[in-house]
Protein backbone atom coordinates (compact mmCIF):
# COMPACT_ATOMS: atom_id res chain seq x y z
CA UNK A 1 0.00 0.00 0.00
CA UNK A 2 1.18 3.48 -0.82
CA UNK A 3 0.52 5.06 2.56
CA UNK A 4 1.81 8.44 1.44
CA UNK A 5 -1.30 8.78 -0.77
CA UNK A 6 -3.61 8.61 2.27
CA UNK A 7 -6.35 11.20 2.38
CA UNK A 8 -9.40 11.98 4.46
CA UNK A 9 -12.50 10.76 2.67
CA UNK A 10 -15.61 11.54 4.73
CA UNK A 11 -17.15 11.76 8.18
CA UNK A 12 -20.57 10.57 9.37
CA UNK A 13 -22.48 11.30 12.55
CA UNK A 14 -25.25 8.86 11.67
CA UNK A 15 -25.13 5.61 9.75
CA UNK A 16 -27.83 6.49 7.26
CA UNK A 17 -25.55 7.23 4.33
CA UNK A 18 -22.18 5.56 4.74
CA UNK A 19 -20.06 5.45 1.58
CA UNK A 20 -20.76 2.55 -0.76
CA UNK A 21 -18.81 -0.52 0.38
CA UNK A 22 -16.93 -0.81 -2.89
CA UNK A 23 -13.40 -1.10 -1.48
CA UNK A 24 -11.64 -3.28 1.11
CA UNK A 25 -12.07 -1.89 4.61
CA UNK A 26 -9.89 -1.92 7.72
CA UNK A 27 -11.70 -0.73 10.84
CA UNK A 28 -10.27 0.47 14.14
CA UNK A 29 -12.30 -0.14 17.30
CA UNK A 30 -11.65 0.20 21.01
CA UNK A 31 -12.35 2.16 24.16
CA UNK A 32 -12.17 5.93 24.15
CA UNK A 33 -8.59 7.12 24.48
CA UNK A 34 -7.06 3.69 23.74
CA UNK A 35 -5.15 5.19 20.80
CA UNK A 36 -7.18 4.40 17.66
CA UNK A 37 -6.58 7.71 15.89
CA UNK A 38 -2.89 7.69 16.89
CA UNK A 39 -2.36 4.18 15.53
CA UNK A 40 -4.08 5.11 12.30
CA UNK A 41 -1.83 8.16 11.91
CA UNK A 42 1.25 6.07 12.66
CA UNK A 43 0.29 3.48 10.05
CA UNK A 44 -0.29 6.21 7.50
CA UNK A 45 2.87 8.04 8.51
CA UNK A 46 1.13 11.36 9.12
CA UNK A 47 1.09 13.30 12.35
CA UNK A 48 -2.55 14.28 12.49
CA UNK A 49 -4.66 13.12 9.59
CA UNK A 50 -6.95 11.60 12.24
CA UNK A 51 -7.56 13.93 15.17
CA UNK A 52 -5.89 12.86 18.41
CA UNK A 53 -6.64 14.17 21.89
CA UNK A 54 -5.63 13.42 25.45
CA UNK A 55 -9.30 13.96 26.30
CA UNK A 56 -11.32 10.78 25.71
CA UNK A 57 -14.22 11.07 23.32
CA UNK A 58 -12.32 12.97 20.63
CA UNK A 59 -13.62 10.91 17.70
CA UNK A 60 -17.39 11.29 17.84
CA UNK A 61 -18.09 10.37 14.22
CA UNK A 62 -17.17 7.54 11.89
CA UNK A 63 -14.30 8.86 9.80
CA UNK A 64 -13.25 7.28 6.53
CA UNK A 65 -9.78 7.60 5.04
CA UNK A 66 -8.67 6.38 1.66
CA UNK A 67 -5.27 4.70 1.65
CA UNK A 68 -4.34 3.71 -1.88
CA UNK A 69 -7.75 2.21 -2.57
CA UNK A 70 -8.22 0.68 0.89
CA UNK A 71 -10.59 2.36 3.29
CA UNK A 72 -9.39 2.90 6.87
CA UNK A 73 -12.27 3.50 9.27
CA UNK A 74 -11.77 5.40 12.54
CA UNK A 75 -14.72 4.56 14.78
CA UNK A 76 -15.78 6.45 17.91
CA UNK A 77 -14.51 4.92 21.13
CA UNK A 78 -16.77 3.02 23.47
CA UNK A 79 -16.93 3.13 27.25
CA UNK A 80 -16.49 6.84 27.76
CA UNK A 81 -18.49 7.71 30.85
CA UNK A 82 -18.45 11.48 30.68
CA UNK A 83 -20.89 12.12 27.88
CA UNK A 84 -24.62 12.37 28.03
CA UNK A 85 -26.71 9.24 27.76
CA UNK A 86 -28.02 10.42 24.41
CA UNK A 87 -24.51 10.92 23.04
CA UNK A 88 -23.43 7.51 24.35
CA UNK A 89 -26.41 5.98 22.60
CA UNK A 90 -25.54 7.79 19.37
CA UNK A 91 -21.98 6.39 19.44
CA UNK A 92 -23.25 2.89 20.24
CA UNK A 93 -25.69 3.19 17.35
CA UNK A 94 -22.86 4.28 15.07
CA UNK A 95 -20.58 1.39 16.01
CA UNK A 96 -23.41 -1.16 16.02
CA UNK A 97 -24.92 0.23 12.82
CA UNK A 98 -21.57 0.13 11.09
CA UNK A 99 -21.05 -3.56 11.91
CA UNK A 100 -24.65 -4.35 11.05
CA UNK A 101 -24.35 -2.88 7.61
CA UNK A 102 -23.40 -4.78 4.51
CA UNK A 103 -19.69 -3.97 4.05
CA UNK A 104 -16.42 -5.66 3.23
CA UNK A 105 -14.84 -6.13 6.62
CA UNK A 106 -11.37 -7.19 5.53
CA UNK A 107 -9.78 -6.67 8.92
CA UNK A 108 -10.94 -5.25 12.25
CA UNK A 109 -8.13 -3.89 14.39
CA UNK A 110 -9.42 -4.14 17.94
CA UNK A 111 -7.36 -1.97 20.27
CA UNK A 112 -6.77 -2.73 23.93
CA UNK A 113 -4.51 -0.77 26.30
CA UNK A 114 -1.68 -3.14 27.20
CA UNK A 115 -1.44 -1.78 30.74
CA UNK A 116 -4.87 -2.84 31.95
CA UNK A 117 -6.48 -6.18 32.64
CA UNK A 118 -9.39 -7.26 30.45
CA UNK A 119 -12.43 -5.03 30.81
CA UNK A 120 -15.99 -6.04 30.16
CA UNK A 121 -16.57 -3.79 27.14
CA UNK A 122 -13.46 -5.21 25.46
CA UNK A 123 -14.62 -8.74 26.21
CA UNK A 124 -17.95 -7.83 24.64
CA UNK A 125 -16.31 -6.37 21.54
CA UNK A 126 -13.99 -9.35 21.05
CA UNK A 127 -16.83 -11.76 21.77
CA UNK A 128 -18.84 -10.03 19.08
CA UNK A 129 -15.97 -10.27 16.55
CA UNK A 130 -15.48 -13.99 17.25
CA UNK A 131 -19.22 -14.63 17.14
CA UNK A 132 -19.65 -12.78 13.84
CA UNK A 133 -16.59 -14.52 12.37
CA UNK A 134 -15.07 -11.22 11.33
CA UNK A 135 -11.33 -11.27 10.64
CA UNK A 136 -9.63 -9.36 13.44
CA UNK A 137 -6.38 -8.73 15.22
CA UNK A 138 -5.97 -7.29 18.72
CA UNK A 139 -3.53 -4.40 18.84
CA UNK A 140 -2.23 -3.93 22.36
CA UNK A 141 -1.53 -0.20 22.52
CA UNK A 142 0.85 2.13 24.40
CA UNK A 143 3.47 -0.61 24.77
CA UNK A 144 6.12 2.10 25.22
CA UNK A 145 4.74 2.53 28.75
CA UNK A 146 5.95 -0.98 29.75
CA UNK A 147 9.29 -2.78 29.69
CA UNK A 148 9.75 -5.56 27.14
CA UNK A 149 9.38 -8.27 29.76
CA UNK A 150 6.21 -6.67 31.14
CA UNK A 151 4.86 -6.42 27.58
CA UNK A 152 5.28 -10.15 27.06
CA UNK A 153 3.70 -10.91 30.42
CA UNK A 154 0.68 -8.73 29.69
CA UNK A 155 0.27 -10.17 26.20
CA UNK A 156 0.13 -13.70 27.57
CA UNK A 157 -2.10 -12.69 30.44
CA UNK A 158 -4.57 -10.73 28.27
CA UNK A 159 -4.71 -13.57 25.74
CA UNK A 160 -5.71 -15.88 28.60
CA UNK A 161 -8.28 -13.44 29.94
CA UNK A 162 -9.88 -12.94 26.53
CA UNK A 163 -9.66 -16.61 25.62
CA UNK A 164 -7.62 -15.80 22.52
CA UNK A 165 -4.46 -17.19 21.01
CA UNK A 166 -1.49 -14.89 21.81
CA UNK A 167 -0.80 -15.05 18.04
CA UNK A 168 -3.92 -12.91 17.54
CA UNK A 169 -2.41 -10.13 19.66
CA UNK A 170 0.11 -7.64 18.42
CA UNK A 171 2.12 -5.42 20.75
CA UNK A 172 2.13 -1.88 19.36
CA UNK A 173 3.19 1.66 20.14
CA UNK A 174 2.33 4.78 18.19
CA UNK A 175 5.18 6.52 20.01
CA UNK A 176 8.02 4.16 19.09
CA UNK A 177 6.51 2.45 16.05
CA UNK A 178 6.71 -0.97 17.68
CA UNK A 179 4.51 -3.49 15.88
CA UNK A 180 3.62 -1.10 13.04
CA UNK A 181 5.44 -3.01 10.30
CA UNK A 182 3.71 -6.25 11.40
CA UNK A 183 0.34 -4.54 11.44
CA UNK A 184 0.92 -3.14 7.96
CA UNK A 185 1.68 -6.57 6.59
CA UNK A 186 -1.43 -8.05 8.26
CA UNK A 187 -3.48 -5.27 6.66
CA UNK A 188 -1.96 -5.90 3.25
CA UNK A 189 -2.54 -9.65 3.53
CA UNK A 190 -6.17 -8.97 4.39
CA UNK A 191 -6.80 -6.44 1.62
CA UNK A 192 -4.73 -7.24 -1.41
P1 LIG B 1 -11.14 8.62 21.03
O2 LIG B 1 -11.16 9.24 19.68
O3 LIG B 1 -11.47 9.57 22.11
O4 LIG B 1 -11.96 7.38 21.10
O5 LIG B 1 -9.63 8.21 21.38
P6 LIG B 1 -8.58 7.39 20.49
O7 LIG B 1 -8.73 5.94 20.78
O8 LIG B 1 -8.66 7.79 19.06
O9 LIG B 1 -7.19 7.82 21.13
P10 LIG B 1 -6.14 8.91 20.59
O11 LIG B 1 -5.38 8.37 19.43
O12 LIG B 1 -6.81 10.21 20.45
O13 LIG B 1 -5.09 8.93 21.81
C14 LIG B 1 -5.49 9.20 23.13
C15 LIG B 1 -4.28 9.63 23.95
O16 LIG B 1 -3.36 8.53 24.09
C17 LIG B 1 -3.48 10.78 23.34
O18 LIG B 1 -3.02 11.59 24.39
C19 LIG B 1 -2.32 10.06 22.66
O20 LIG B 1 -1.17 10.87 22.53
C21 LIG B 1 -2.07 8.90 23.61
N22 LIG B 1 -1.48 7.74 22.91
C23 LIG B 1 -1.99 7.10 21.85
N24 LIG B 1 -1.20 6.08 21.45
C25 LIG B 1 -0.14 6.08 22.29
C26 LIG B 1 1.05 5.26 22.41
O27 LIG B 1 1.30 4.30 21.65
N28 LIG B 1 1.90 5.54 23.44
C29 LIG B 1 1.66 6.57 24.31
N30 LIG B 1 2.55 6.76 25.29
N31 LIG B 1 0.57 7.37 24.23
C32 LIG B 1 -0.31 7.13 23.24
MG1 LIG C 1 -10.00 8.93 18.04
Ligand 1 atom at minimum distance from 41 CA: 11
Residue 72 DSSP code: E
Which residue puts its alpha carbon closest to atom 24 of ligand 1?
A: 35
Cα separation of 73 and 115, whole Å?
25
- Ligand 1 mean position, distance from CA 71 (Å): 21
Would you state the pLDDT for residue 87?
80
Burial string for 34-58 (b: 16+ CB within 10 Å, else e) reads bbbbbbbbbbbeeeebbebeeebbb
The band of 164, judged by pLDDT with boundaries at 50, 70 and 90, is very high
pTM of the model: 0.94
Ligand 1 atom at minimum distance from 60 CA: 2
Domain 3-191 has CATH 3.40.50.300: yes
Residue 115 beta carbon below 6 angstroms from any ligand 1 atom: no
Q: What ipTM, to 2 d.p.?
A: 0.99
Would you state the pLDDT for residue 178?
98
Residue 53 beta carbon below 6 angstroms from any ligand 1 atom: yes
Inform me whether the pLDDT recorded for 80 exceeds 80. Answer: no
Residue 51 DSSP code: -
Q: Minimal CA–CA distance to 175: which of 134, 145, 130, 136? A: 145
Q: How does pLDDT run across 87-120, given as a tens digit for each residue?
A: 888 888 888 889 998 999 999 999 999 999 999 9
Would you state the pLDDT for residue 91?
80
Please report, for the chain, the start and end positions of each structural domain, with discontinuous segments joined by +: 3-191
Ligand 1 test: best mutation among 32, 35, 44, 139, most atoms within 8 Å of CB? 35
Asked if residue 191 lies in contact with residue 135, where contact means CB atoms within 8 angstroms, the answer is no
Higher pLDDT: 162 or 80? It is: 162
Residue 145 beta carbon below 6 angstroms from any ligand 1 atom: yes
Which residue puts its alpha carbon closest to atom 32 of ligand 1?
A: 142
Would you state the pLDDT for residue 85?
82
Amino acid sequence: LKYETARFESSYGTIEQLPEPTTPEVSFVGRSNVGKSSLLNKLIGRKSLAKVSSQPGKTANINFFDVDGVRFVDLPGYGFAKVSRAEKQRWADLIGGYFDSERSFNLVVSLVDIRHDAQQLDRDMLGFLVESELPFVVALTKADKLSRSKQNQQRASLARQFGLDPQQMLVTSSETGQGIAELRSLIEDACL
